[in-house]
Amino acid sequence: MLYITNEILCAYLVYKTIDHAIYQPKLLGSYCFVRSSLRDYMQNHFINDSIYISLCSFTNIDACQHIHNQTFLFRLHWFPGLTSELNNLVRAFTYAIHTRRKFLVDDQYWNYGSFASFFNVTKGHFSPWLPASSYCSQRQFIHLINYQENGTKNVPAHLTTSRSSDGGFTYLSRLMALHERGNDTIAVRRLVVDYLWESLNNETRCFIDRHLSAMQIDTISYGMHIRRGDKATEAKLFAASDYVAGVEFFMKQQSQTNSKIRIFVASDQSNVIDELRKLKPNWEFVQLPEQKKGSSGHDQTSFNRLPEHIKIEAGREMLTELKILSRVKYVVCTFSSNVCRFLQVLRKQDVETVLSLDVQWYPQ
């Protein structure tokens, strides 16, 4: 009898579903940027988008991603952390759905390499590239801020923005404020993140599943995300004892007296788990094995200098930590951290099951 292990199955799936968008776009495709509005926007009139536009909604994002002649292109930035840029991407994706546009992603300058290293670009319909024969004749992208400043009545068919010094993303934030209202914002974003997460490529998905199985995730009720490193330049850092107090707060809510609990710890600092074990020797603190983290925490500037394959590995580890934290019952973290804010959206549980030690959740 032939036995197929998870590793063999994953290797087969990765081989069979290689995303050809990784290899083709920069050789066989092109798209354009223009800095001011044009009189006429060239469109493919042989494609009728009306059905997909009418069906496009947060409960049918796939219909939005089949629209051809109305798009919104998000250009990934070269510097920020993974979840920082994912939070921005989700906000841009949300805007695209609100305005019934197909959402596209440009990763040419992304510090984590190819978007397709994590996501199946073809499955999610995220690629901005057209066949070489089309070049700029079909899609010419207007920068969001230029369109808004010009005040033209003709809405451009194709818009673009990014986190950059020209203020384009700041303007998008002002536009999105019209749609963002408390927990309704989280509910809407959860639909967007669900679609994004379903677009994970098989290599990333297998990486995550392998660790979830090894961690025995169903035996873990609590999670912590403890950010140190360069976060000290942006927000107050909290002691390990503050995170312990957060878990005790949830235990008290549940009238839990059992001191033998398992807690998953995600942190950018290698020795934080030792601090926790000294504080609570009866609690079992666990983390991903074989992570290469220093005692001083994450520094984004230094991280960006690393080889691409190391950054991809670290990115998959971060996505794995997020998945584990999304599955546990209760989480203690800080919403000043992009990781914690993205986690609140990724979780499908009551928002009150996440305790922030500092600020309230906010959509930026």
pLDDT, the chain, mean? 82
pLDDT (0 to 100) of residue 157: 86
Architecture in CATH of 216-356? 3-Layer(aba) Sandwich (3.40)
pLDDT band at 148 (very low <50, low <70, confident <90, very high): low
pLDDT (0 to 100) of residue 159: 87
In three-state secondary structure terms, 354 is strand
pTM of the model: 0.85
Q: In what order do the strands lie in the sheet with 102-106?
A: 32-34, 140-143, 158-162, 71-75, 102-106
Residue 80 has pLDDT above 70, yes or no: yes
pLDDT (0 to 100) of residue 19: 40
pLDDT (0 to 100) of residue 331: 97
The whole-number average pLDDT for the span 229-254 is 86
Return the higher-pLDDT residue of 304 and 201: 201
The whole-number average pLDDT for the span 287-310 is 78
Closest CA to 210 of 134, 289, 274, 273: 289
Q: What is the dihedral of CA 321, 327, 328, 331, to 10 degrees?
A: 60
pLDDT band at 275 (very low <50, low <70, confident <90, very high): very high
On the CB side of 75, CA atoms within 13 Å amount to 18
Return the higher-pLDDT residue of 112 and 164: 112
pLDDT band at 316 (very low <50, low <70, confident <90, very high): very high
Q: What phi-psi label fits residue 160: left (phi over 0), alpha (psi between -120 and 50 degrees) or beta? A: beta
Residue 137 has pLDDT above 80, yes or no: no
pLDDT (0 to 100) of residue 18: 42
Closest CA to 353 of 327, 314, 322: 327
Residue 244 has pLDDT above 70, yes or no: yes
Return the higher-pLDDT residue of 188 and 4: 188
Q: Which residue has the tokens 């940027």?
A: 33
Return the higher-pLDDT residue of 224 and 173: 224
In three-state secondary structure terms, 102 is strand
pLDDT (0 to 100) of residue 161: 87
d(CA 301, CA 305): 7
CATH 3.40.50.11350 location in the chain: 216-356
What share of the chain has pLDDT > 90, as a percent?
A: 51
For 101-126, the pLDDT digits (tens) are: 999 999 988 999 899 999 999 999 99
Residue 351 has pLDDT above 60, yes or no: yes
d(CA 111, CA 86): 13
pLDDT (0 to 100) of residue 263: 96
Q: Are strands 29-30 and 130-131 parallel, antiparallel or unpaired?
A: antiparallel
For 55-75, the pLDDT digits (tens) are: 999 999 999 999 988 999 999
pLDDT (0 to 100) of residue 69: 87
Q: For the range 132-139, what are the long-range contacts, defined as Cβ-Cβ under 8 Å and sequence gap of 24 or more?
A: 132/28, 132/29, 132/30, 134/30, 135/30, 135/32, 136/30, 136/31, 136/32, 136/42, 137/42, 138/42, 138/43, 138/44, 139/31, 139/32, 139/42, 139/71
How many CB atoms are located within 10 Å of the residue 15 CB? 10
Residue 180 has pLDDT above 60, yes or no: yes
